[in-house]
Amino acid sequence: MNQITITSAAFANASSIPPQYTCDGADVSPPLSIAGVPREARSLALIVDDPDAPGGTWVHWLLWNVDPKPSAIGEASVPSGATQGRNDFGRNTYGGPCPPSGTHRYFFKVYALDRMLDLKAGSGKADLERAMQGHVLSEGAILGLYKRR
């Protein structure tokens, strides 16, 4: 399986996420660029989560049925035709990093899929992972870090 490369103009892999993309700023999603998507991909899915949350992994953003061409998600935007799921803040939107203490890791994981997903808006991470099962052609991730001041 070829690896997808996901990058952001806002932060480098394994570096700090700027406050504007967190609860301490505008709380908008950062720009993301995606390269190496297989030609046969029919859609992309994105899961953003924090495995360092006190109660277990915290979901910040779920997005699926993203058109694989062009391979970018703009700042503070949801691509046309894409569907958002329910995050652990209870919203069908992006919810930025807001760790209660210490530095947390935020994984922006992208998946190239061989089909569009028949999954209703507001579905959760477990629903998305079940729907993707057996349909992932390739995947990749970028890691962002954040500590509140």
The percentage of the chain sitting over the pLDDT mark of 90, rounded to a whole number, equals: 95
- Whether the per-residue pLDDT at 1 is higher than 70: the answer is no
Q: What is the pLDDT of residue 139?
A: 97
> How far apart (Å, rounded) are the C-alpha atoms in residues 135 and 131?
8
> Percent of the chain beyond pLDDT 70?
99
What CATH number is given to the structural domain containing 124?
3.90.280.10
Number of residues that this document lists for the chain: 149
| Domain housing 54 | 5-146
pTM of the model as a whole: 0.97
Mapped onto helix, strand or coil, the DSSP state of residue 134 is coil
What is the pLDDT at residue 57?
98
Our count of domains for the chain comes to 1
Tens of pLDDT, residues 77-107: 999 999 999 999 999 999 999 999 999 999 9
Label residues 89-102 b or e (16+ Cβ within 10 Å = b).
beebbbbbbbbeee
